[in-house]
Structure 1
């Protein structure tokens, strides 16, 4: 599709993302999206999910955003850039997916994966950026679930601006610093711990929104 065709496909005339709810007020859409995705993320963490392959990445995106966007879970076939950052061209997806599959295999075969391994995966998924929106939230949840599969709980030290800069520069040393791992006795408890942290983040963000 041309740039104009993509614009018409994804956006209403006022620039709001087209959505299943036909919400054309960008602020209302952001609020509904935030609450829906956060609720779905907590549900998935609470009930558990076994990560087997990159296919689960698309399934998680569809689960998080499927109530809102018709394209949820579908890898893009067009070029994507945000600000000064160009993400992976779709013509290179096959090679990238092979690389990510190898990383997932290495993590699967590791009893206690390291923050370096998770940082490398986070960097690879960020550059892939296969969806129009929601890549960051999907990636963080995907890695949380993967860690829980290994009886680990992950905290993301949220310094969003610094994280974005580190990701844009593929600075693995800095990315690693934003990932804190806690070993947990059981997989079930690991899922519960991650769900609890997600709920606490939701409550904090809700309070911040109320204050502002």
Structure 2
């Protein structure tokens, strides 16, 4: 659960995010969100010639369009999790621009060996996570987007093999400067079954 300095996204006197189904408990919202995102994940994602901030936002919109009116919009409140503050909203646009410009300069991680791809992808994902541009749905959007980048780079990921707790631990470690667990998770998802 996020700590927020302004609950304009939530129902009055509640931590439940305002949602299109008007669900008022966290449990109901979580189930609805999972159902809607699972359905949208089975559909083709927005296509773009290059990875851009606009494309990233379109993927978030695609995944969360049935749940939140603000799907794809950059967050406007400060949030933290377990005492770790994410990028301030007034800096999100510029940080995303710099991050995606860097991805472009790196040729979107194409033509790399597995190990190099995993290291660069882990660093990109760690930075993207630190920005945390949306009020909700950052982790799921990041994972889907990483998969798109990996496919384009010739290193498809098997997300069905991902262990959510292991991924979460790796993301937390990367937030605190240790990207090696995230590199290991990405490599594990890239390895073919024997």
- Return 5+ residue gaps in structure 2 as ranges: none
2:144 corresponds to: 141
**CA distance in structure 1 between the aligned counterparts of 2:96 and 2:184, rounded to whole angstroms:** 25
**CA distance in structure 2 between the aligned counterparts of 1:107 and 1:142, rounded to whole angstroms:** 16
Q: Which has the higher helix share?
A: 1
Output aligned runs, 1:190-205, within 5 Å. Answer: none
Q: Is the 8 A contact 1:155 1:179 kept in 2?
A: no
Q: Is the 8 A contact 1:40 1:64 kept in 2?
A: yes
How far residue 100 of structure 1 moved from its aligned partner, in angstroms, is 1.1
Tell me: higher relative CO, structure 1 or 2? Use CA pairs within 8 A at least 6 residues apart.
1
Matched, 1:174 2:181: yes
2:33 corresponds to: 33
Alignment TM-score, normalising by the size of structure 2: 0.80
Q: Is the 8 A contact 2:74 2:92 kept in 1?
A: no
Pick from 40, 46, 49 the counterpart of residue 47 of structure 2. Answer: 49
Task: Encode CA deviations 1:28-73: one digit per residue, 9 max, x unaligned.
Answer: 211110111122123236xx73453121111111111111101110
CA RMSD after TM alignment: 2.5
Q: Is the 8 A contact 1:11 1:18 kept in 2?
A: yes
Q: Is the 8 A contact 1:152 1:183 kept in 2?
A: no
Judged with a 3 Å threshold, the aligned counterparts in structure 2 of structure 1 residues 16 and 162 are, in CA distance, closer, same or farther, namely: same
Pick from 117, 131, 134 the counterpart of residue 134 of structure 2. Answer: 131
Output aligned runs, 1:1-212, within 5 Å. Answer: 6-44=6-44, 49-50=47-48, 51-105=50-104, 106-108=106-108, 110-112=110-112, 114-155=117-158, 157-158=162-163, 159-180=166-187, 182=190
**CA distance in structure 2 between the aligned counterparts of 1:71 and 1:10, rounded to whole angstroms:** 12
